[in-house]
Structure 1
Amino acid sequence: MSISRVLVANRGEIARRVFTTCRRLGIGTVAVFSDADAGLPFVGEADVAVRLPGSTPSETYLRADLVIEAARKAGADAIHPGYGFLSENAGFARAVVAAGLTWIGPTAESIDAMGSKVAAKKLMGDAGVPVFAELDPAAVTEADLPILVKASAGGGGRGMRVVRDLADLAGQVQLASDEAASAFGDPTVFCEPYLENGRHVEVQVVGDTHGNVLVLGERDCSLQRRHQKVVEEAPAPLLSDDVRQRLHDGARLAARAIGYVGAGTVEFMVSTGSTSGESRVSFLEMNTRLQVEHPVTEAVFGVDLVEAQLRVAEGGTVPAAPTHPRGHAVEVRLYAEDPAADYQPQSGRLDTFEVPADLEFDQLLTYGTRLDSGFATGSEVGTHYDAMLAKVIAWGPDRASAFRSLAGVLERSRIHGLVTNRDLLVRLLRDEKVLAGEVSTDFLGTFDLSAAPADPYAAAAAALALAERDRAARVVQRAIPVGWRNVVSQPQRTVLATPADDEVEVLWHGGRDGYRLDGGGVTVLAAAPDRVVLEVDGVQVGYDVVLAGEAGTSTVHVDSGRGSASYRVVPRFVDPADQVSAGSLLAPMPGTVIATPVESGSAVTAGQTVVVLEAMKMQHTISAPADGVLDVAVAVGQQVAAGDVLAVVQVPDPGAEGEQA
């Protein structure tokens, strides 16, 4: 059986990743895309593409019937599910096979066996794989705490909550159940012990129809936020030979217990918290698909896992591979999110997206870096899907060199238009504890997430670049120097706002001799709309500047060897129509209102939830900033844009009460 054309039932970077291998093997490619994704790179890179009308996952990528019909239309003879969406849906796998197409994944029976985490744990325990005991939420006691509430059909951290106080259990179970129902269509949740200072270590397996199971080492995925992985590496550091062997043996037992075919991952928790120092290994779940972090395994073993999937689907055997990893690889997930604002997802236009990696979507066979990205400069990041922009991977002969290389690539990247976690990733890759391998799944819970202070002269560079843009746009009096005044009474004043809405004032002078900044110690050596060069205390610094938007509504992005910064130009005069009432609660991003738990006219207290939004596959609560009376401005089911007024909390005026008295 030979595959000639593959439809990827997914989007973004995983679709591009599969296309890359297919092109190398001479296999045709088909993309399916939602209306929201029509302009993304993966659509144009496929040989042919089929539109799935609509934008939400339920209208598009989760419609098995539409995906299979698209395969028929485009002449595909096989379907690769990628990860997420329908990738672990046994019903979809059966429908693909029933349609006469080749399913590039495990059998529907294997997916069923691991689809319910509750049933999977029992199956694994019976097979001799070490497992955690399951806890009934109704029977949990103080002695069981802390516990982890998990979605039975879930993954990716959705439907997962840590509970440390028994009084919070019922509420957290309900929230996890609601999130699981929204993300996976199944509200079932269960509880298990939560290991403080535990490590998340997973093992890559590939099985074939001939009974072979290949184990390709392990990955450490302990650096997580919201139980979603942020940094992954292979091999896992600080594991004893005994623990490593137990992990590999457990993964092999798990795969053989269900006759596993294709690429999959067996996930474990590893803890060294016992007084004896003995490590505890326990099965978490098996992901019956290709994992997001598969590139680090490809890098250290030199195996193309997508090619392995294709060969196995064609009836071939698992690939030959080294028995031990070569060197070290590390991957980071670059998200459009603001870590300092509780990882709030971001949406909008990527004005610039340039990551100086050596390769894209290919195995790392030599020292270097790789970029797997779903976006490019000018792409729109919407609210319907996950906020991951790209995966950036580095391979090195040892762990230290891989981490250093990746930190440097991220630092040199130019990413404008949206707040991202790039700076946090750089800090993590250079953190002493991270470099020593001393991390756990709760490491980021104690990490300082506040943004590093921007270069104080980046705002000055932005102001001068704006002045130069205005000069270039003149149609009259072009010979007059920028900012020139016949009688100098005061400096020119440019006010900029940071993404956190903190205002920065830049005072400067212009004239026939060029620019001069107030404050001393700084000399303006050159200024243009796209580059400003300053001499700061005897050190020359070049600032690359990108101006986005029209004059008067500009956003300015500044990059230098001292870091990156973005500013919004604050207009000198504000239209009264653009002002909002005091106490207004604004939508932090586009989304859908899914709950308004307090009625208009009701009294609320500071911190009380008044609106719940759903955006980027997550729920976001909007809380009252102070005690007062609530006026709700939206309804459940309503779509809102970023900046829309959701509600207003009217705070009583203490002075008015005194006057009445």
Structure 2
Amino acid sequence: MSKLDLNITKILVANRGEIALRIMRSAKEMDIKTVAVFSEADRNALHVRYADEAICIGPAPSNQSYLVGEKIIAACKTTGAQAIHPGYGFLSENAGFAKAVADAGLILIGPTPQAMEIMGNKLSAKAAALKYNIPMVPGTEEAITDISEAKLRAVEVGFPILIKAAAGGGGKGMRIVEKVDDFEEQMHLAVSEATSAFGDGAVFIERYVTSPRHIEIQVLGDTHGNIVHLFERECSIQRRHQKVVEEAPSAVLTPEIREKMGKCAVDVARSVNYVGAGTVEFILDENLDFFFLEMNTRLQVEHPVTEMITGLDLVKEQIKIAKGEVLSFKQEDLKINGHAVELRVYAEDPLNAFLPDIGTLQTYSTPKGNGVRVDDGFEEGMEIPIYYDPMIAKLITYGATRTEAIARMVRAIDEYDITGIQTTLSFGKFVMQHEAFTSGKFDTHFVSKYFNADSLKEDDEREALLAAITGVLLLQKDKGKIVTATQNTAQTSNWTKNRKNYN
């Protein structure tokens, strides 16, 4: 079967929760059947109920279910699904799994194993990007093998410097070194952590950008060599090096910088003949100079904000590309319309260092109305399992302007009713109402600079006091109405008049 006539009538979604549902809904609109896979912990999950078919692939721990590629491929064979959509997380960037899918005669809705392998390692990704002279943060271009030489290079680059693991992400294997005396100790710690987390102790160094913004560019590439970018997403509001708030477009990019970053992102994708949806990530410094960071070879959690400002369905585009179709639009056809903001609603306690919280969703009611989108995988009464990422939902708002999108987000947060667990909703409202965010003058250090538990407690106490005062005033007003109503009733009620007649 050639790349030009692939027929996909059934897709197995190798994921869970909100992203599994989100993929299935787009597939349904394309008249494509879906297969859900689930662990024993997810037997009653919404994505299992929504799919046309569902297969249990093992116990709750992901290393016995969602991370076992052989079970997923076997489920495809059993159900007759021709393609697999991996979503994000789990096996979505696993080159070995991608190769096993191809060897099994199945279609992976994603890039080639070769592209995954190159971009899955930060050093090989940098080497590929350098072919197109993409701007890089000064540092080493190869894994450090000699600590003494690395120390000399660090002095050349200038402190502070950042030690980074070549494999993986999420802040693991990453160390900021302020002075040369600390270099060797921090190097050993970074190597140890990288080895433990990724099975790969390779690390490299970069100049540490002191006030960085995290800007990423969405790209799409088809099997015919066409690659376009779908503009940027601002992802600088983070905790533990992981995103919590994203928006599109960025509040600080000029049209000229946007065009340059977009071209660089397309070139990075072209360096590995990229196919499918991917994201090229950059660091932007205080002078608005940008540097290549890495490429994520999958659909991103925050892809809805790009969909809102472009009007495209990225999952549908992924499926069309996997079928061998040519992109139906060119770069010049794309433009930014309005503004979108996303809050990741995690089952975490912002007052307790964002530690995960588990329990039962005693109340779960989502916001509605114009410009509000909720991508979730839960309903009232369901439990938040301990085995997986604690994200409950993605709350997305859209407006004609950034100000309108933010105002809608505040309104939507207020309308989102969740009890039984702690969530990041209150943190999201704190962000939306903070001057640094509304002015656009923030960076990846927003949480450490501005947020602490006391500030959120003060906001909560202020709201509780206002609610109490409002409640008392309303009660007093209602009592007055009751007295008046009783008096009026006694004077004019037909029941009262008729009672007199009977006495």
Q: TM-score, normalised by structure 2?
A: 0.85
Structure 1 partner of 2:397: 394
Partner of residue 293 from structure 1, selected from 281, 298, 302? 302
Aligned residues: 459
CA RMSD of aligned residues (A): 2.6
Q: Contact 2:229–2:262 at 8 Å: present in 1 too?
A: yes
Instruction: Structure 1 unaligned segments of length 5 or more: list them.
Output: 274-278, 359-366, 462-520, 524-532, 542-661
Q: Which amino acid aligns with 2:390?
A: A
Q: Is the Cα–Cα contact under 8 Å of residues 300 and 329 in structure 1 kept in the other structure? A: yes
Q: How many Å separate the matches in 2 of 1:282 and 1:152? A: 17
Task: Give how far 1:374 is off.
Answer: 2.4
Amino acid at match of 2:339: H
CA contact (8 A) 2:170 2:240 kept: no
How far has the Cα of 1:446 moved from its partner?
1.0
Q: How does 1:225-374 map to 2 (within 5 A)?
A: 225-273=239-287, 279-320=288-329, 322-358=333-369, 368-374=371-377
Residues 224/379 of structure 1: CA separation in 2 closer, same or farther (3 Å cut): same
Give 2:419's aligned residue: 416
Secondary structure in structure 2 of the residue aligned to 1:405: helix
Residues in 1 aligned to 2:71 and 2:197: alpha-carbon distance in whole angstroms:
19
The residue that corresponds to 1:431 in the other structure is 434
Residues 355 and 410 of structure 1 are in contact (CA less than 8 Å); yes or no, is this contact kept in structure 2? Answer: no
Q: Aligned to 1:255, what secondary structure does the other structure show?
A: helix
Q: Which has the higher contact order (CA 8 A, sep 6+)?
A: 2
Q: Contact 2:131/2:271 (CA < 8 Å) preserved in 1?
A: no
Q: Distance in 1 between matches of 2:380 and 2:296?
A: 32
- Which whole-Å deviations, capped at 9, do the CAs of 1:193-225 have from their partners, x for residues lacking one? 221111111111100111100111111111111
Distance 1:178 1:54, change over 3 A: farther
Q: Which residue of the other structure, out of 219, 228, 232, is the alignment partner of 1:218?
A: 232
- Pairs within 5 Å for 1:135-150: 135=140, 136=144, 138=147, 139-140=150-151, 141=154, 144-150=158-164
- Report what 1:201 is aligned to: 215
AA matched with 2:305: V
> Pick from 126, 130, 139: which aligns with 2:131?
126
Shift of 1:156: 3.9
Query: Compared with structure 1, are the counterparts of its residues 319 and 180 closer, same or farther at alpha carbon in structure 2 (3 Å cutoff)?
Result: farther
> Does 1:54 pair with 2:65?
no
Q: Deviation at 1:106?
A: 0.6
Higher mean displacement: 294-303 or 337-346: 337-346
Task: Report the equivalent of 1:441.
Answer: 444
SS in 1 for 2:368: coil
* Alpha-carbon distance, 1:179 to partner: 5.4
1:329 maps to amino acid: A
Deviation at residue 249 of structure 1 after TM alignment: 1.0
- 1:57-72 maps to which residues of 2 (within 5 A)? 57-72=62-77
For structure 2, the residue ranges without an aligned partner over 5 or more in a row are 1-5, 480-503
Contact 2:220 2:277 (C-alpha < 8 Å) held by counterparts: yes
Greater Cα shift, 38-47 or 223-232: 38-47
C-alpha distance 540-436 of structure 1, shift in aligned 2 (>3 A): farther
For 1:15 and 1:432, the matched residues in 2 are separated by 36
Aligned: 1:96 with 2:101: yes
**What SS class does the counterpart of residue 88 from structure 1 fall into?**
coil
CA–CA distance in structure 2, aligned partners of residues 118 and 180 of structure 1:
14
Which residue of 1 is the match for residue 493 of structure 2? none
Q: Quick check: which one's strand share is greater?
A: 1
User: Cα 1:163–1:375, aligned 2, differ >3 Å: closer, same or farther?
Assistant: farther
The answer (yes or no) to whether the contact 1:160–1:227 under 8 Å persists in 2 is: no
Q: Is the 8 A contact 1:82 1:289 kept in 2?
A: yes
Q: How far, CA to CA, are the matches of 2:462 and 2:279 in structure 1? A: 46
Aligned amino acid, residue 350 of structure 2: P
CA distance in 1, matches of 2:424, 2:170: 18
Q: Deviations over 1:79-123 (max 9, x none)?
A: 011111111111111111111111100111111121111111122
Amino acid at match of 1:397: A
| Alpha-carbon separation, structure 1, partners of 2:423 and 2:183 | 32
CA distance in 2, matches of 1:22, 1:457: 43
Q: Secondary structure at the match of 1:438?
A: coil
